[in-house]
Chain A
Amino acid sequence: MLGYVLRRLAAMVPVLIGVTFLIFALVHALPGDPIAAMAGNRPLSPSTVAALRQQYHLDESLWTQYWYYMTGLAHGDLGTDFHGRPVSELIAERWPVTFNLALTAWVMKIVIGIGVGVYGALRRGRLGDHLALGFTVLFIALPGFVFAFIAQLVFGVNLQLFPIAGIADGWPMSFLLPALVIALETAAPLARLTRSSLVEVLRSDFIRTARAKGAAPARVVWGHAMRNSMIPVVTYLGLSLATLLGGAVIVESVFNLPGVGGLMVQAIQTQEGSVVVGVATFIILVYLLVNLVVDLCYGLIDPRVRRV
């Protein structure tokens, strides 16, 4: 088991290097002079500019700069912004918001998606099945930001059930509405996957065996079919959590939640390349780690892939 984890961690390194380099190179290629952006409208003396350029290794080649960054990263340093604040500190400020939002949305998505999927599979081909799936498709079709506005208007402004925006009310009140928006928007693929997986499992021979044993329908579905049907779903759920933890840019901006996604957009707009790279690295690390954890959980529900 430990050996497997180590091997997986080792396999993550090239991907991490590749992805960070890609981001690094892209940011490097962004138009505009970072020093000028940093100075804003203050005039800087040529000597200051030169000093700053040297401090941030801006005169070095892309490769050297990347090397400096990666050595820093190996020591847990994600770099600093133009005011000298460590990027890790910026992330630490934003992370609780993103984490709360992602986890809340993820749980809601699981409840809605798996609920609809199971309902559809058990009533497959009937009206309820079509209605439930159609319901989830509606939310894909509605553009995310439009749906977010509508939710804001109906539940925040008109019904006043939830705060309209911001995080002043803390968890859960400030997070429920944006999380629900994310959950509904992304529930459809989960519902489909759950449905098709359960339908397939219900057709398999061992379900027939269970029925031949005289098991009641509820026992057949919950005792035998469910766990098997969750095998492909778990992979998807892992990917989905990893993506959510990377920040929900649109919902964060509509609901004015200061999360990691917003930090990223802001850094791009202010051309703070070091912050863009640092935050991206962090998001990628989270993504890879969550996927690893999911792979390990996989063995818990499917003994066939269990590693000793």
Chain B
Amino acid sequence: MSETVLATPAAAPARRRDGLRGLLRKPLFVVSALITLLYLAMAAFPGLFTSVDPRACSLAFSGVGPSSGHPFGYDLQGCDYLANIIYGTRSSISIGLLVTVATFVLAAVFGGLAGYFGGLVDGVVSRTADIMFGLPFIVAAIVVLNMFPQRDVLSVSLVLIVLGWPGGMRYMRGSVLKVRNLEYVQAARVLGSGHTRVLLSHVMPNSLTPLIVLKTLEVGAVIAAEAALTFLGVGLQPPAISWGLQLSAAHSQWQAHPHLVIFPSIFLSLAVLAFVVLGDSLRDALDPKER
């Protein structure tokens, strides 16, 4: 009859696992996950989704609206719009994932060090973050991006990473500060575990959840930020193909060629929405306190 006695420490990971398994029964999660997978597939293998070459253009078709065989019509250069939008997925998704993963790692490492060691390490990391945080985001992004002669996915990502890590760092630092003073961490220290061991096997695993939750919600925001910067003319540049570029080119033609704005907007919005909802469901599963 001993199995009727549930010891509490074992219950926590079990609850997390239950939460993740419960996700599959949530329609919002399933739908957003499927859409996300579709976008990932489009980013990885655009050729599977269209057989038209996005760069095969003819000015004769400039701005022509949807027709059979070209359901999204043509852009101002007379290129097939559907093909361009599909090929544009790669830029947005790569930037979204790259920036999120990189800022996650930076935030975890620096937040972990600053929170755990405190003192000088914390001083240097936190003041640097304060300065980065004090920079008005759009202004700083515009200035920095202007320094690159040619802006591609990597340079735009780099700027978003440099400007984006402090938020997560502060978050991580806060949760490490809490965990660091918990009794089992103190116990591990007293029992003679080294800093590396305590940090890696006790502190980090128990303080990462809030950061993971924050970051899952961020992919969508990064995708939207890239599009906004590109729209302002400081993000990606041709010959890159991206939704931001398409919208930026189309926005002055809004009245004459509405399809040029509508289609990339739908792709962009749906991508952001799918990532946000996905992040939200994961948050609920990992951090059930909020429900």
Measuring CB to CB, which residues of chain A are less than 8 angstroms from any residue of chain B? 14-16, 18-19, 22-23, 26-27, 29-31, 124-125, 137-138, 140-146, 149, 153, 196, 199-200, 243, 246-247, 249-250, 253, 261, 264-265, 268, 276, 279-280, 283-284, 287-288
Is B43 in the interface zone, CB < 8 Å from A? Answer: no
Is B231 in the interface zone, CB < 8 Å from A? Answer: yes
B143 in contact with A268 (CB, 8 Å): yes
A19 in contact with B276 (CB, 8 Å): no
Is B291 in the interface zone, CB < 8 Å from A? Answer: yes
- Nearest chain B CB to A16 CB, angstrom units: 8
B251 in contact with A149 (CB, 8 Å): yes
Is B261 in the interface zone, CB < 8 Å from A? Answer: yes
How far apart sit A146 and B269, CA to CA, in the bound complex (Å)?
Answer: 10
How far apart sit A265 and B231, CA to CA, in the bound complex (Å)?
Answer: 13
A140 in contact with B224 (CB, 8 Å): yes
B268 in contact with A137 (CB, 8 Å): no
B134 in contact with A284 (CB, 8 Å): yes
How far apart sit A247 and B140, CA to CA, in the bound complex (Å)?
Answer: 13
B143 in contact with A137 (CB, 8 Å): no
B136 in contact with A280 (CB, 8 Å): yes
* Given contact pairs A141-B276, A143-B227, A143-B247, A15 touches B261 in the complex (Cβ within 8 A): no
B139 in contact with A283 (CB, 8 Å): yes
How far apart sit A288 and B136, CA to CA, in the bound complex (Å)?
Answer: 11
A146 in contact with B232 (CB, 8 Å): no
A141 in contact with B269 (CB, 8 Å): yes
- Nearest chain A CB to B238 CB, angstrom units: 18
- Chain A residues positioned under 8 Å from B224 (CB to CB): 140-141, 143-144
* Given contact pairs A140-B220, A140-B224, A253-B232, A287 touches B136 in the complex (Cβ within 8 A): yes
* Given contact pairs A15-B131, A137-B277, A141-B276, A265 touches B147 in the complex (Cβ within 8 A): no
Cβ-defined partner of A141 (8 Å) among B139, B142, B144, B272: B272
How far apart sit A161 and B153, CA to CA, in the bound complex (Å)?
Answer: 41
How far apart sit A30 and B147, CA to CA, in the bound complex (Å)?
Answer: 5
How far apart sit A160 and B76, CA to CA, in the bound complex (Å)?
Answer: 30
- Chain A residues positioned under 8 Å from B127 (CB to CB): 14-15, 18
- Chain A residues positioned under 8 Å from B231 (CB to CB): 143, 145, 250
Is B273 in the interface zone, CB < 8 Å from A? Answer: yes
Majority secondary structure, A binding face = helix
* Given contact pairs A15-B130, A149-B254, A284-B136, A23 touches B277 in the complex (Cβ within 8 A): no
* Number of inter-chain CB pairs below 8 Å: 118
- Nearest chain A CB to B230 CB, angstrom units: 10
A249 in contact with B232 (CB, 8 Å): yes
- Nearest chain B CB to A181 CB, angstrom units: 13
Is B290 in the interface zone, CB < 8 Å from A? Answer: yes
* Given contact pairs A15-B127, A138-B273, A145 touches B143 in the complex (Cβ within 8 A): no
A261 in contact with B138 (CB, 8 Å): yes
Majority secondary structure, B binding face = helix
How far apart sit A124 and B289, CA to CA, in the bound complex (Å)?
Answer: 13
B143 in contact with A149 (CB, 8 Å): no
Extra contacts besides A15-B127, A18-B130, A30-B143 (20): CB < 8 Å: A15-B131, A18-B131, A26-B140, A27-B143, A125-B291, A137-B276, A137-B277, A137-B280, A140-B220, A141-B272, A141-B273, A142-B265, A143-B265, A146-B247, A146-B261, A146-B269, A149-B261, A243-B136, A249-B232, A287-B134
- Nearest chain B CB to A13 CB, angstrom units: 12
- Chain A residues positioned under 8 Å from B277 (CB to CB): 137
Is B200 in the interface zone, CB < 8 Å from A? Answer: no
How far apart sit A243 and B137, CA to CA, in the bound complex (Å)?
Answer: 9
Is B69 in the interface zone, CB < 8 Å from A? Answer: no
- Chain A residues positioned under 8 Å from B232 (CB to CB): 249-250, 253, 265
How far apart sit A250 and B139, CA to CA, in the bound complex (Å)?
Answer: 11
How far apart sit A27 and B144, CA to CA, in the bound complex (Å)?
Answer: 8
A264 in contact with B247 (CB, 8 Å): no
Is B44 in the interface zone, CB < 8 Å from A? Answer: no
How far apart sit A149 and B251, CA to CA, in the bound complex (Å)?
Answer: 9
- Nearest chain B CB to A290 CB, angstrom units: 12
B247 in contact with A19 (CB, 8 Å): no
B143 in contact with A23 (CB, 8 Å): yes
Contact with A along B196-231 (1 / 0, CB 8 A): 000000000000000000000000110010011001
25 contacts between A and B (CB under 8 A): A18-B127, A19-B134, A23-B139, A125-B291, A137-B276, A137-B277, A140-B224, A142-B265, A143-B228, A143-B269, A145-B228, A146-B247, A149-B261, A153-B254, A247-B138, A249-B139, A249-B142, A250-B228, A264-B139, A264-B142, A265-B142, A268-B142, A268-B146, A280-B136, A284-B135
B273 in contact with A15 (CB, 8 Å): no
